Amino acid sequence: MNFLFVSADAALITDLAWQVHREGHDVRYYIEAERDKEIGDGFVPKTDDWRAEVEWADVTVFDDIWVGSDIGTGALAQELREEGHAVVGGTPNTDRLEEDRGYAMDVLESHGVNTVEQRVFHDFDEGIEYVRRNRAPYVIKPLGEVQNVKRLLYVGNEDDGSDVVEVLRAYKQAWGHRMKGFQLQRKVEGVEIAVCGFFNGETFVDPVNFNFEHKKLFPGNIGPSTGEMGTSMFWAGRNRLFEETLGRLEPWLAEEGYVGSIDINCIVNEHGIYPLEFTPRFGYPTITLQEESFESSTAQFFYDLAHGNDPELSVHGGYQIAVRIVLPPFPFTDEKTYDENSRNAAVVFETDSREGVHIEDAKLVDGQWRAAGESGIPLVVTGKGETMQEARKRAYDRVDDIVIPNLYYRDDIGERWVDGDGDRLLAWGYLGPAGE
């Protein structure tokens, strides 16, 4: 089969394209951003003009919600579908779930899903005054262009919201020219878990994926937000957690014609499920870990998904974790630091096995794996096991066999499950069948 992969900045699907290529299919991979065009070199065949390859492709796969400065991939995917092409990608409205947090909450509420109290502001002073009148801990979530600057997400700690007020004042001075809006979301305590399903244009594929993000840079969930430093996960059926969140959006997604992965991150406690935000696209490194846990063909799965078939998906039945291996100055941007410490860094393996080792921002030069691009995230290392502890051991044993000067990573991925998150979810009844 012929697969065309289209990426804004190569963050999400390089390894997926490589996997499909290794399964024996023809692949062409397009990367929009000039700084990232070398990512995947030597691993995956490339193209400089993705539109010229659409007629050739049996399946076109978009990764992010943007390609180019102002074109949403949902609009592109919808256009190609209307022309009769098989596409993994969103729609303008599903793109909006991530771009416009207020709209996302409206969609959830209109389908009977509980939501956290939240308000969107486009004026810092109005937001500050709102917190002063409604004293409570809040989460600040930037909107629009700067929402991808993950370190700007701030989770309040003070019961009266005083720290949120001070942070908003600081953002007004430092980011007021770029942060055109922000959401204030009431902070909720509990277990953070994401519900992720693959949708084929009509219905969700069984089984469903449940994953736990580790967004802070340092172990113990300390330091700047990074997007993600690792993921732990498992697969299950349509349990209560799914049915009371993504399951209620199934008719809406079918009406939209959405095809691909969609994820809703939630806080869960004994009182209820509270969705926080959508990822209506592949997540990273979630897609890498999902791909690692597939026990059936990856290419056939995405072919069937794009063509509206019911894929026969077989997955690992235990637990899985993924660890991102990063280099300086990640998660920050500093060209001099990157040039001196990380650019073209060689990846040295102390074993012949590459099992569980996946590429993110990497290239292959004369048989040598090297860091590529500008982000400093060359690899994702995974592990599977019948227990979370076993999955952790396998992943970190593989990490120990990798040598890159200056590498760093979190060594606590999956510990939250072991330390009690799993027990709490079971005790609260969210992992059993819906209705129990």
Q: Which has the closest alpha carbon to 416: 405, 407, 428, 425?
A: 425
CA angle 387, 220, 351 (to 5 degrees): 55
Residues 6+ away with beta carbon under 8 Å from 327: 338, 341, 342, 345, 371, 376, 377, 378, 404, 406, 407, 408
Q: Tell me: the pLDDT tens digits for 168-210?
A: 999 998 888 788 889 899 998 999 999 999 999 999 999 999 9
pLDDT at 142: 86
Query: Sorting pLDDT into bands at 50, 70 and 90, what band is 143?
Result: confident
Distances (CA, A) of 332 to 267, 282, 377: 28, 23, 12
Tokens of 79: 């256009």
Instruction: Determine which helix (DSSP H) or strand (DSSP E) holds 17, and give its type and residue range.
Output: helix 14-22
How buried is 54 (Cβ within 10 angstroms: 0-12 exposed, 13-18 middle, 19+ buried)? Answer: middle
> Cβ(104)–Cβ(278) under 8 Å?
yes
Query: Sorting pLDDT into bands at 50, 70 and 90, what band is 239?
Result: very high
- What's the predicted TM-score (pTM) here? 0.91
Domains of the chain: 1-95 (3.40.50.720), 116-184 (3.30.1490.20), 189-426 (3.30.470.20)
Q: Tell me: the pLDDT tens digits for 3-54?
A: 999 998 766 899 999 999 999 999 999 998 899 999 999 999 999 999 999 9
DSSP 36: G
